[in-house]
Structure 1
Amino acid sequence: MKIAIVSGKDEGPTKLNAFDNALSDAGIGDVNLIRVSSMLGPNTEIHELPCLKPGSMVNCVLSDITSDNPGDEITATVAVAIGEELGCAVETQGINRPPEELREEAEFMVKYMMEKREVKIKELIVKEATTTVNDIASVVASVVYLEE
């Protein structure tokens, strides 16, 4: 299994436009995202996001948050743990929570999922997007499942 881990942030004139702009900033704005649960195949490989065919259906784990409250700090976070038998991905997000706290929360959750399954972690990655809202802003972080 191959995945890419991406993040983005942007503002827009509406919440929907801000979200769409953040997806575009992450490189996944021109595809149809299908949210899936958090399981990855054995020995998953992490790759750079390739050029995705516009309009294609793309599976992903997606963390996102949007705010129209100027001054809010918003953060979207994903964490990925890869093992030989399987892998897990988690998402979390927050408003006015320290990004480090959200990173720790995501890391804790994905480690717990792997421990519960008795799978040794070979690689652990945490990625987030954070911004301070000027007018209307959105942030996204995503684990994108790539075609084999």
Structure 2
Amino acid sequence: MKVSITSGKSEGPTRLNAFDNALLDAGIGDVNLIPVSSILPRDTEIVELPPIKEGEMVNCVLSYVHSDHPGDFITAVVAVATSDDFGCVVEHSGVNQDPEKIRSEAKTMVEYMMQVRGLEIREIIIADENHKVIKEAVAVAAVVYLK
């Protein structure tokens, strides 16, 4: 199994348009996203996001945050932990919070998920997207499961 970690941010005239634009910015706006829970199969390889055929059905773990308050600072985070057995993913987000605090919380949560499963962490990868809202904005971070 291969996965990609990606993120994006954008403004738009409506919440839905801002979300769509953020997905486009992340490179996953022309596919059908299917939300899945937070487990990576054994031997998952993390790769750069390749082009994906338009309309493809794509599993993902998606973190997103929206605000329509000018000046707000929004942050979306995914944290991925791998082991020799399998891995876990956490999605987290916040508004007007220190991005490092949100990243740290996501890291702590994914470490805990691995600990309760008795998995020794091989690697942790954290990706985030931050944005200062102008009018109507969304930030996304995602783990995309590839075929």
**TM-score over 0.5 (shorter chain):** yes
Instruction: Report Cα offsets for 1:56-103 as digits up to 9, x if no partner.
Output: 100000000111100000000000001111100010001001100000
Listed as ranges, the gaps of 5+ residues in structure 1 are: none
Structure 1 runs of 4+ off > 6 angstroms?
A: none
Instruction: Report Cα offsets for 1:100-142 as digits up to 9, x if no partner.
Output: 0000010000000001111111111000000000011110000
The equivalent of 1:81 in structure 2 is: 81
Hey, what's the Cα distance between the residues in 2 that align with 1:43 and 1:12? 39
| 1:44 CA displacement | 1.3
Hey, what's the Cα distance between the residues in 1 that align with 2:58 and 2:17? 20
Percent same amino acid at aligned positions? 59
Count of residues paired in the alignment? 147
Hey, what's the Cα distance between the residues in 2 that align with 1:82 and 1:145? 15
Hey, what's the Cα distance between the residues in 1 that align with 2:40 and 2:123? 13
Hey, what's the Cα distance between the residues in 1 that align with 2:58 and 2:90? 17
The secondary structure found in structure 2 opposite 1:33 is strand
The equivalent of 2:69 in structure 1 is: 69
Listed as ranges, the gaps of 5+ residues in structure 2 are: none
State how 1:1-148 maps to structure 2 within 5 Å. Answer: 1-147=1-147
Hey, what's the Cα distance between the residues in 1 that align with 2:58 and 2:43? 20
Hey, what's the Cα distance between the residues in 1 that align with 2:95 and 2:28? 23
| 1:145 CA displacement | 0.3
The secondary structure found in structure 2 opposite 1:101 is helix
Hey, what's the Cα distance between the residues in 2 that align with 1:115 and 1:68? 38
Q: Match for 1:41: what amino acid?
A: P
Hey, what's the Cα distance between the residues in 1 that align with 2:84 and 2:116? 15
| 1:43 CA displacement | 2.4
Hey, what's the Cα distance between the residues in 1 that align with 2:65 and 2:74? 7
Q: Please give the TM-score of this superposition, normalised by the length of structure 2.
A: 0.99
Q: Please give the TM-score of this superposition, normalised by the length of structure 1.
A: 0.98
